[in-house]
């Protein structure tokens, strides 16, 4: 079923814009995702393909969009089938799809091998997503073979195969006002989940409840679903104590103890758009002196990165701004030794910070948590133009997520051992200061303590 926010005109406009880039004799074939078995006859929860959804707003599995350079569109989708609908749920069906989704025509997905090759007859360029759908290349080869077999009747097959993601990535990189509104909501719901988990954490410890990471995972999910989100945008990370130093940790079974820090990296998906927020907070609601010292460095680095996130800046500018603060912080805290590692410039140049901060500060955010879009672009003129980091433009959305992860080591003061802190917000580039979608959950340590009191 379409999301309540569904507006077919939005998708018609996107298809029109893409069609204009396909060339007059171009045809694009864009399938949705395939269902994935989990075990025996149970599948993972189905999630549509983001490119397909961007152009259709259609969430059923077993569907494929064909878009023509002249703007016409055909959808292949599941046919109406009472017996299957009794087991698996409602299907829109081709007849209703045409009007509801604003397409030129629609057919049963069972007819795709018969009908799709006809769409490719005498087409010049066939566009499809490269390396994103297992088995698609073989299917395409089969369709091309069918067209080629008609060569003696004067019918030609496309001579050029091109990656349609190159066009779609550029479109998806700049969010329109509809997408921005949905992303704002996704972040606001995600923030509510974080607040709920933080407060539940402190009150559970007060009540002497034997709290574990998965309990906070449940609180996050409860709030996300309660607020109308369909899923989490990725598996939530709830990491207590030393687990925060494992970057891809998930919400597991470890106990959460008085005195621990807890790192939660969680975001909901709302109407197909992702929130992506990280907060690190003291389980009992009060930072220790050492925790607070590291927290303050990470927070200052995030503020610096936020200030650097503006139209006209490079994608890498927020990272460079964060690095400067983190490098100084590592020296000031005595985690890096000035006599051995030199000053801030040396620490950055020789990557002495790397054992404590080993990921980038930002990634694009959109329908996919690590959204599509090139991180570099060619500059200058001529044939072989060198690549430079992308210039930020209004409408781009990126995360800002510096961190410090301090594993025990003989040369690191013991008070900092096993402290892992990341602070992550979702930023919209505007013509002025960036807009942070996700600040309904505070980052200020005093505000966090107040929230948890
Ligand atoms: N939650 C995944 C990330 O922050 O990149
Ligand atoms: Mn992120
Ligand atoms: Mn994250």
Distance CA 337, CA 315 (A): 30
Half-sphere exposure of 442 (CA within 13 A, CB side): 12
Distance CA 386, CA 100 (A): 45
Q: Whose CA is nearest to atom 4 of ligand 1?
A: 276
Q: Whose CA is nearest to atom 5 of ligand 1?
A: 370
CA 186–ligand 1 middle distance (angstroms): 15
CA 247–ligand 1 middle distance (angstroms): 9
Helix (H, G, I), strand (E, B) or coil at 140: helix
Contacts of 180 (CB under 8 A, 6+ apart): 395, 397, 428
Determine if ligand 1 sits within 6 Å of the CB of residue 369.
yes
Contact criterion met (CB below 8 Å) for 150 and 120: no
CA 371–ligand 3 middle distance (angstroms): 12
What is the full per-residue pLDDT of the chain (453 aa) written as tens digits?
777 778 999 999 999 999 999 999 999 999 999 999 999 999 999 999 999 999 999 999 999 999 999 999 999 999 999 999 999 999 999 999 999 999 999 999 999 999 999 999 999 999 999 989 999 999 999 999 999 999 899 999 999 999 999 999 999 999 999 999 999 999 999 999 999 999 999 999 999 999 999 999 999 999 999 999 999 999 999 999 999 999 999 999 999 999 999 999 999 999 999 999 999 999 999 999 999 999 999 999 999 999 999 999 999 999 999 999 999 999 999 999 999 999 999 999 999 999 999 999 999 999 999 999 999 999 988 888 999 999 999 999 999 999 999 999 999 999 999 999 999 999 999 999 999 999 999 999 999 999 999
CA 275–ligand 3 middle distance (angstroms): 8
CA 276–ligand 1 middle distance (angstroms): 6
Nearest CA-CA partner of 169 in 13, 18, 275: 18
Domains for the chain: give ranges and CATH numbers: 8-172 (3.40.350.10), 174-452 (3.90.230.10)
Nearest CA-CA partner of 264 in 286, 247, 280: 280
Task: Say which DSSP state 234 is in.
Answer: S
Determine if ligand 1 sits within 6 Å of the CB of residue 265.
yes
CA 131–ligand 1 middle distance (angstroms): 23
pLDDT at res. 5: 78
Burial environment of residue 414 by CB neighbours within 10 A (0 to 12, 13 to 18, 19 or more): exposed
pLDDT at res. 383: 83
Determine if ligand 1 sits within 6 Å of the CB of residue 234.
yes
* Mutate which of 278, 279, 364, 397 for ligand 1 pocket (most atoms within 8 A of beta carbon): 278
pLDDT at res. 417: 98
Determine if ligand 1 sits within 6 Å of the CB of residue 404.
no
Nearest CA-CA partner of 418 in 244, 253, 252: 244
287-291: Cβ within 8 A, 24+ apart: 287/445, 287/449, 288/259, 290/415, 290/416, 290/419, 291/261, 291/419, 291/421
* Cross-strand pairs, 240: 262
Q: Which of ligand 1's atoms lies nearest the C-alpha of 276?
A: 1
Contacts of 348 (CB under 8 A, 6+ apart): 323, 324, 327
Annotated catalytic residues are 41, 248, 265, 276, 359, 363, 370, 401, 405, 422, 424
pLDDT at res. 381: 86
Determine if ligand 1 sits within 6 Å of the CB of residue 276.
yes
* Mutate which of 231, 234, 398 for ligand 1 pocket (most atoms within 8 A of beta carbon): 234
pLDDT at res. 4: 79
pLDDT at res. 392: 98
Contacts of 452 (CB under 8 A, 6+ apart): 198, 199, 201, 202, 281, 282, 285
CA 177–ligand 1 middle distance (angstroms): 24
Using left for φ > 0, alpha for ψ between -120 and 50, and beta otherwise, residue 138 falls in alpha
* Mutate which of 231, 232, 276 for ligand 1 pocket (most atoms within 8 A of beta carbon): 276
Q: Which of ligand 1's atoms lies nearest the C-alpha of 424?
A: 4
Return the structure tokens found at 78: 């599941």
Phi and psi dihedrals of 268, rounded to 5? -95, 165
Determine if ligand 1 sits within 6 Å of the CB of residue 317.
no
Residue 358: CB atoms within 10 Å: 11
Contact criterion met (CB below 8 Å) for 327 and 347: yes
Which alpha helices (H) appear in 208-288, and where do they start and end? 213-226
pLDDT at res. 140: 97
Q: What is the pTM of this model?
A: 0.96
Q: Which of ligand 1's atoms lies nearest the C-alpha of 234?
A: 1
Task: Say which DSSP state 360 is in.
Answer: -
Distance CA 325, CA 295 (A): 12
pLDDT at res. 403: 98
Contact criterion met (CB below 8 Å) for 357 and 403: yes
Q: Which of ligand 1's atoms lies nearest the C-alpha of 369?
A: 2
Determine if ligand 1 sits within 6 Å of the CB of residue 277.
no
Return the structure tokens found at 29: 């074939």
């Amino acid at each position: 079923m379409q999301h309540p926010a569904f507006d077919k005109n939005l998708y018609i406009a996107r298809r029109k814009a893409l069609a204009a880039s396909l060339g007059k004799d171009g045809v694009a074939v864009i399938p949705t995702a395939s269902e994935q078995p989990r075990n025996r006859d149970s599948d993972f929860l189905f999630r549509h393909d983001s490119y397909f959804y961007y152009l259709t707003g259609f969430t059923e599995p077993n569907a494929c969009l064909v878009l023509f350079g002249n703007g016409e569109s055909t959808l292949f989708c599941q046919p109406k089938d009472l017996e299957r609908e009794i087991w698996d749920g409602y299907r829109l069906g081709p007849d209703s799809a045409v009007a509801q989704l604003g397409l030129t025509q629609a057919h049963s997905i069972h007819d795709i091998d018969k009908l799709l090759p006809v769409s490719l007859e005498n087409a010049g360029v066939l566009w499809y997503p490269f390396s994103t759908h297992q088995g698609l290349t073989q299917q395409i080869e089969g369709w091309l073979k069918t067209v080629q077999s008609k060569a003696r009747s004067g019918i030609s097959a496309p001579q050029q195969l091109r990656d349609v993601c190159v066009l779609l990535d550029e479109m998806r990189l700049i969010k329109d006002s509809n997408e921005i509104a949905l992303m704002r909501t996704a972040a606001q719901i995600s923030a509510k989940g974080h607040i709920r988990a933080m407060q539940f954490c402190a009150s559970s410890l007060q009540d002497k409840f034997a709290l574990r990471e998965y309990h906070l995972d449940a609180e996050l999910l409860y709030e996300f679903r309660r607020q109308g989100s369909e899923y989490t945008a990725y598996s939530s990370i709830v990491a207590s104590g030393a687990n925060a130093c494992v970057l891809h940790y998930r919400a597991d079974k470890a106990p959460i103890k008085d005195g621990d820090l807890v790192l939660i990296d969680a975001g909901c998906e709302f109407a197909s758009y992702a929130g992506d927020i990280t907060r690190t907070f003291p389980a009992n609601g009060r930072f220790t002196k050492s925790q607070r010292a590291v927290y303050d460095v990470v927070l200052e680095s995030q503020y610096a990165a936020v200030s650097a996130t503006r139209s006209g800046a490079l994608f890498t500018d927020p990272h460079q701004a964060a690095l400067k603060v983190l490098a100084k912080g590592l020296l000031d805290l005595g985690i890096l030794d000035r006599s051995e590692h030199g000053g801030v410039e040396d620490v950055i140049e020789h990557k002495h910070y790397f054992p404590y901060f080993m990921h980038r500060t930002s990634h694009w955010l959109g329908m996919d948590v690590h959204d599509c879009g090139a991180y570099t672009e060619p500059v200058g003129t001529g044939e072989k133009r060198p690549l430079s980091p992308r210039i930020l433009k209004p409408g781009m959305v990126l995360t800002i997520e510096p961190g410090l992860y301090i594993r025990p080591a003989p040369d690191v003061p013991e008070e900092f051992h096993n402290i892992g802190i990341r602070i992550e917000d979702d930023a919209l580039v505007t013509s002025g200061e960036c807009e942070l979608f996700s600040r309904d959950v505070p980052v200020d340590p005093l505000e966090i303590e107040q929230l948890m009191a």
